[in-house]
Amino acid sequence: MNSSYSILPYAVALALLLGWAMSPLDRSITEQLGQRSEIESLRDIESQFGQGLTVAILGGYRSVAANLIWLSKNQDWEERDIAGTLGKIALATSIDPRPEMFWLNGSRILANDMPTWVVGLASAEQLETTDRGRAIAKQYAERALAFLEESRDYQRGNPKIHIEAGMIHWKKLGELEAAANSFKSAIETGKTPYFAYRLYGDLLIELGRKREALNLLEDHYETLPDGSLEAMKPVVADRIRLLKNELKAAN
C-alpha cells in the first residue's frame, strides 16, 4: 500500500483536531475585535499553533491540514460567524502561509463580507451612508490590510498582494496616495498582470496626475502583445488617445 495513502488519514484527523482545538481561540478573537489589531490576534495564534509546531507534526502534510481547515471555514462563513471565520483563516495561514489564495480571499472576507455581517444584510447601505457604518467599514478594511501585511514574509515579490492592498486603500478607505504606492510596488515586482497597469492609470487620473498616467500607459503599451484578450491593447490605446486629447485641451 502506498505510504502516502496510509499517512493521509492521520493528517486529516490532526487537521480536524486542530479545528476543534481552535474553537476556544475563536471566541477570544471575538472579544478582542474592538480592542486589538488583526495582526496581534494572528501573532497570538502563531504562538499557540505556530509553524514550528505544525511543521514538526505535519511535515509534508501541512498543506493538507491547512486546506481542510480552510474548507471547514466555509460553514462559518455561510453562517456569518465572524469569530469562527477569523479563527479558521488565521489558523490555515499559520499552518501553511504559502497559498496566495488564503491571503487574498481572507482579506476580501475581512474587508467586504464582515462589515455587512456586523450591520446586517438588510442594512448594508449604512456602511456608506452613516457615521457608524463608515466606521465599521473602515475598521474591517484596516484589519484586512493588517492581515495582508502579515503575508509579506511568505508572499514576497507577489504583485497580487500589493494590488489587493491597493484596492482596499482605494475603494474601501479612499486613501488614494496609499493606493498609488501599493500599485507602484506591484509594478516594481516585474510580474504584474496587465489589468493592474490599467487600474493604476485610472487611479493616477483620479489623483489628477494625468501626465504620469499617460507616461505609464505609453510605456506599458509598448510591451503588450498583439491579439491578446487579456492584454486589451486596443483599450490601452484608447485611454492613451483620450489622455493626450485631455492634456492638449488643458494647455
Helices (H), ranges, 168-232:
176-188, 194-206, 210-223
Contacts of 165 (CB under 8 A, 6+ apart): 107, 145, 148, 149, 182
Give the DSSP H/E element, type plus range, for residue 85.
helix 82-95
Convert the pLDDT of each residue in 199-227 to its tens digit: 999 999 999 999 999 999 999 999 999 98
Cα-based distances in Å from 234 to 85, 217, 224, 225, 238: 42, 12, 10, 11, 6
Closest CA to 106 of 154, 74, 135: 74
DSSP state of 224: P
Convert the pLDDT of each residue in 55-76 to its tens digit: 545 556 788 889 999 999 999 9
178, with CB counted inside 10 A (0-12, 13-18, 19+), is: middle
Q: With DSSP H G I counted as helix, E B as strand and the rest as coil, what are the percentages for the chain, rounded to 5?
A: 80, 0, 20
Residue 20: its pLDDT value, please?
Answer: 54
Do 133 and 141 meet the contact criterion of CB atoms below 8 Å apart?
A: no
Residue 251: its pLDDT value, please?
Answer: 79
Domain ranges of the chain: 1-96
Residue 61: its pLDDT value, please?
Answer: 77
Helices (H), ranges, 33-158:
38-49, 51-58, 62-78, 82-95, 100-108, 114-119, 126-129, 131-150
Average confidence (pLDDT) per 10 residues, the chain, 251 residues:
48 53 47 44 48 51 88 95 94 92 98 97 95 97 96 92 98 98 96 96 97 98 95 97 95 79
Is residue 174 helix, strand or coil? coil
Residue 149: its pLDDT value, please?
Answer: 95
Rounded to two decimals, what is the model's pTM?
0.79
Residue 18: its pLDDT value, please?
Answer: 53
DSSP state of 193: -
